Amino acid sequence: MTTAAAPVVARVPGSKSITNRALLLAAAASGASRLYEPLVSEDTIAFRTALAGLGYRIVSGPGDAWWEVTGKGHGPVGGGRVWCADAGTAARFLPPFAATGSGDFLFDGSDQLRARPLQPLADALTRLGVSVWTDPCGGLPLRVAAAGAWGGELFVEGGLSSQYLSGLLMAAPLLRSPLTVRFRDLVSRPYVDMTIALMREFGAKIVERPDGPVEIAADGYCATGLRVEPDASAASYLFAAAAVTGRSVTVPGLGTDSIQGDVRFTDVLARAGAHVEVGEEGTTVTGAPDGRLRGGFEVDMGDISDTFMTFAAIAPLADAPVTVHGIGHARLKESDRIAAVAQNLAGCGVPTEVGRDWITVHPAARPHGARIACHRDHRIAMAFSVLGLRVPGITLDDPRCVAKTFPGFRAELGRLFLEQPAPTRV
Ligand SMILES: O=C(O)C1=C[C@@H](OP(=O)(O)O)[C@@H](O)[C@H](O)C1
Ligand SMILES: C=C(OP(=O)(O)O)C(=O)O
């Protein structure tokens, strides 16, 4: 194994969460907005295609260097069918947006997305006076009969996902009167902070009360230009790879000003013994010599649960057990992520213990290769590919599922850490 030399510079694609929020906010604003360096992946193409189907004009610059959205200053008109594919953000952000327009909208998505809960969003829309029907299981398909909605006071349940609250907040400036939102048990809080930060970029007037409620004026949005940051969740795999190989990786554009909570994944790597430098221009992670990892601690990753698998997958390489908690909502994503991590670690000969919202990973003297069951979950595929840098014989049953958020993942991991492409062949 090589020791740390000059940092290599990683090419991390744009943030999914910023791209999809910015697409919606740009459609809701009056006039043309440009998004520079958007993420081009299955989730953002799904979101863009859905908005185009709702009547918003979106064009691409050369090589997708930018996307330009011509907003209408109001929600969609005329109804229609909206395909959300696998994208949770589409299923949770677009129905509240449609509710501010007019017409009958039917949202649907893949079987994987149909299995994910939507009831708290449907309940909140109903409380706003919107006519909503969900599948009896509480998910997609979901129908919204929109006729322009009024604001007022709204309570949102936040324990299963923060995306319901983000979707409702982004719709609020298009309501006919101001909205005050209260919420409780909110998971993934940094994503709501990102929502509010981006709404402000598009001119929304928002007051956050110290005791919790958020007040949003019904004053619409202004078009703007926005550079999309590199995706912090995608960067977690390359930072983890640096940690387990003793190398040094820099991600430019992901620095102290980032609006993504998942940048805090590097705090977890620092506790495990990696050296982390966060500056204005970017973040560099340098692994300890020989990729040694320190264990023997517990960490709450409830705010940054998309990165818990990145850490859990490399945790068997640590010198003592680690416990990750606060991650019950990660059972409701592309897969039951706690179960998927435990299953695949067991396949590699690594003992784990799991509870409703936690996992303990024990050190393994000699983890062995295995065929990883990805469950069509991009993050399971990427997390175990990092373990594959240290454990020979790790293969994936579905390497293509990374296209949901990081189509070039395998090439980038291979470029930075291997002479050959990463060990993700079937
Ligand atoms: O708002 C967002 O962009 C996201 C919120 C998080 O979901 P939850 O709020 O369901 O945890 C995260 O897991 C997802 O990848 C993106
Ligand atoms: C949970 C995820 O995606 P989403 O909820 O946006 O489908 C993810 O990207 O890890």
Q: Select from 163, 166, 262, 405 the residue to mutate for testing ligand 1; criterion: most ligand atoms less than 8 Å from CB.
A: 163
Distance set, CA 391 to CA 137, 143, 409 (Å): 41, 47, 18
Predicted local distance difference test score (pLDDT) of residue 5: 67
Residue whose CA lies nearest to ligand 2 atom number 7: 88
Instruction: Pick the atom of ligand 2 nearest to 334's CA.
Output: 1
420 is in an annotated binding site: no
Residue of 231, 306, 357, 377 marked active site: 306
Residues 99/146, Cβ–Cβ less than 8 Å: yes
Which secondary structure element, helix H or strand E, spans residue 287, and what is its range? none
305 is in an annotated binding site: no
For residue 22, give both structure tokens.
Answer: 């910015």
Q: What are the CB-based long-range contacts (under 8 Å, 24+) for 296-299?
A: 296/320, 296/321, 296/322, 297/271, 297/322, 297/323, 298/322, 298/323, 298/324, 298/325, 299/268, 299/271, 299/323, 299/324, 299/325
Separation between Cα atoms, residue 33 and residue 36, nearest integer Å? 10
CATH number of 231-417: 3.65.10.10
Predicted local distance difference test score (pLDDT) of residue 210: 83
Nearest alpha-carbon partner for 81 in 44, 54, 118, 58: 54
End-to-end CA distance of the chain: 25
Collapse the DSSP code of 153 into the 3-class scheme (helix H, G, I; strand E, B; otherwise coil) and give the result.
strand
Predicted local distance difference test score (pLDDT) of residue 311: 98
Predicted local distance difference test score (pLDDT) of residue 406: 98
Q: Evaluate: CB of 161 within 6 angstroms of ligand 2.
A: no
Residue whose CA lies nearest to ligand 2 atom number 10: 306
Instruction: Pick the atom of ligand 1 nearest to 166's CA.
Output: 1
Q: How far is the CA of 163 from the centre of ligand 1 (A)?
A: 6
11 is in an annotated binding site: no
Q: Evaluate: CB of 333 within 6 angstroms of ligand 2.
A: yes
Q: Going by DSSP bridges, is the β-strand pair 179-184/214-216 parallel, antiparallel, or unpaired?
A: antiparallel
Q: How far is the CA of 117 from the centre of ligand 1 (A)?
A: 13
* Nearest ligand, CA 406: 2
Ligand 1 interacting residues, C-beta cut-off 6 A = 17, 89, 161-163, 166, 187-188, 191, 305-306, 329
Partners of 418 in beta bridges = none
Partners of 355 in beta bridges = 358
Predicted local distance difference test score (pLDDT) of residue 294: 98
For the sheet containing 352-355, what is the strand order? 297-300, 322-325, 358-361, 352-355
How does pLDDT run along the chain (426 residues), one tens digit per residue?
Answer: 444 468 899 999 999 999 999 999 999 999 999 999 999 999 999 999 999 999 999 999 999 999 999 999 999 999 999 999 999 999 999 999 999 999 999 999 999 999 999 999 999 999 999 999 999 989 999 999 999 899 999 999 999 999 999 999 999 999 999 999 999 999 999 999 999 999 999 999 999 998 889 999 999 999 999 999 999 999 999 999 999 999 999 999 999 999 999 999 999 999 999 999 999 999 999 999 989 999 999 999 999 999 999 999 999 999 999 999 999 999 999 999 999 999 999 999 999 999 999 999 999 988 999 999 999 999 999 999 999 999 999 999 999 999 999 999 999 999 999 864 444 443
306 is catalytic: yes
Separation between Cα atoms, residue 15 and residue 406, nearest integer Å? 10
**185 Cβ contact list (under 8 Å, min separation 6):** 157, 158, 159
Predicted local distance difference test score (pLDDT) of residue 7: 87
Q: How far is the CA of 78 from the centre of ligand 1 (A)?
A: 29
188 is in an annotated binding site: yes
Residue whose CA lies nearest to ligand 1 atom number 12: 306
Q: Percent of the chain at pLDDT above 70?
A: 97
Predicted local distance difference test score (pLDDT) of residue 211: 80
Separation between Cα atoms, residue 13 and residue 32, nearest integer Å? 23
Query: Up-side HSE of residue 281: CA atoms within 13 Å toward CB?
Result: 3
CATH class of 16-209: alpha beta
Q: What angle do CA 8, 423, 285 make, to 5 degrees?
A: 25
264 is in an annotated binding site: no
For residue 158, give both structure tokens.
Answer: 């936040």
Predicted local distance difference test score (pLDDT) of residue 61: 98
Amino acid (one-letter) located at 333:
K
Residue whose CA lies nearest to ligand 1 atom number 13: 306
Residues 95/123, Cβ–Cβ less than 8 Å: no
* Nearest ligand, CA 23: 1
34 is in an annotated binding site: no
Which secondary structure element, helix H or strand E, spans residue 170, and what is its range? helix 163-171
Residues 35/55, Cβ–Cβ less than 8 Å: no
* Nearest ligand, CA 159: 1
Q: Select from 191, 195, 263, 406 the residue to mutate for testing ligand 1; criterion: most ligand atoms less than 8 Å from CB.
A: 191
Q: How far is the CA of 187 from the centre of ligand 1 (A)?
A: 9
Dihedral angle, C-alpha 83, 86, 89, 94, nearest 10 °: 10
Q: Provide CATH 3.65.10.10 ranges for the chain.
A: 16-209, 231-417
Nearest alpha-carbon partner for 268 in 231, 234, 305: 305
The tens digit of pLDDT for each residue in 265-309 reads 999 999 999 999 999 999 999 999 989 999 999 999 999 999 999
**78 Cβ contact list (under 8 Å, min separation 6):** 55, 102, 103
Residue whose CA lies nearest to ligand 2 atom number 5: 88
Q: How far is the CA of 162 from the centre of ligand 1 (A)?
A: 6
Separation between Cα atoms, residue 67 and residue 64, nearest integer Å? 7
Q: For the complex shown, is ipTM > 0.95?
A: yes
Instruction: Pick the atom of ligand 2 nearest to 17's CA.
Output: 6
Q: How far is the CA of 256 from the centre of ligand 2 (A)?
A: 24
The tens digit of pLDDT for each residue in 143-183 reads 999 998 999 999 999 999 999 999 999 999 999 999 999 99
Q: How far is the CA of 263 from the centre of ligand 1 (A)?
A: 14
Predicted local distance difference test score (pLDDT) of residue 422: 47
* Nearest ligand, CA 91: 2
333 is in an annotated binding site: yes
